[in-house]
Amino acid sequence: MANSKILLASSSVYRRQILQKLGLSFDWASPDIDESSQPEEKPAQLVHRLAETKARRLASTYPNHLIIGSDQVATIDNQIIGKPHTHANAVTQLRSFRDREVTFLTGLCLLNPSENRTQNSVESYKVRFRNLSDEQIENYLKREQPYDCAGSFKSEGLGICLFEKLEGNDPNTLIGLPLIALTQMLANEGLDPLNQPANFFQPSN
């Protein structure tokens, strides 16, 4: 197998933490791309394009790595919800989610640069919010401050208390890196985590 090294094309600490679950060592780097949507581009098309663009941006620098690109958007009524960045915006977002369903779409790409081969998928995960009071929203935001997260919450933390129901194939998709789909992609490249000896790869720090 020509490519046994892994590169995560992301600066997200959340994605690094998820990828560490597989027990594989990996490098990471920021692809530094324009993540703006194109005219009339649908959310699923956007995350598909950006995931592959992120992976390809680093291909010339890491030609002997398998490169993972991933991108996520939150949507409600098929409209993209961005990161709030401020407390006021987060309050507005969570108020608009009361007793409603939000869908998260995560684009995933595994690029083998040496073969110019890509595997792509778009995974969805649905979240039904509780009918939250203003006090509950304020208490949550002050405690967790999820201002860099699309949808204004961290499901791996206290954000789980915001929900009435979760629906999807892989809970990691909600955080931004679908591990079930990624594991199959890696296996297709001859790098199944369960086929490696215990000391073959170690989690990155």
Distance (Å, whole) CA 198 – CA 200: 6
Phi, psi of 37 (to 5 degrees): -80, 155
Q: Catalytic residue at 170? A: no
Residue 76's beta-bridge partner residues? 79
Residues contacting 14, CB < 8 A, separation 6+? 156, 175, 176, 177
Q: Which two tokens stand for residue 138?
A: 């304020």
3-class SS at 30? Answer: coil
Number of alpha carbons in the 13 Å side-chain half-sphere of residue 193: 18
Distance (Å, whole) CA 135 – CA 93: 14
Q: Which of 27, 32, 34, 71 is catalytic?
A: 71
Q: Which residue, 119, 118, 104, 85, is CA-closest to 174?
A: 104
Question: Among all residues, which ones are annotated catalytic?
Answer: 71
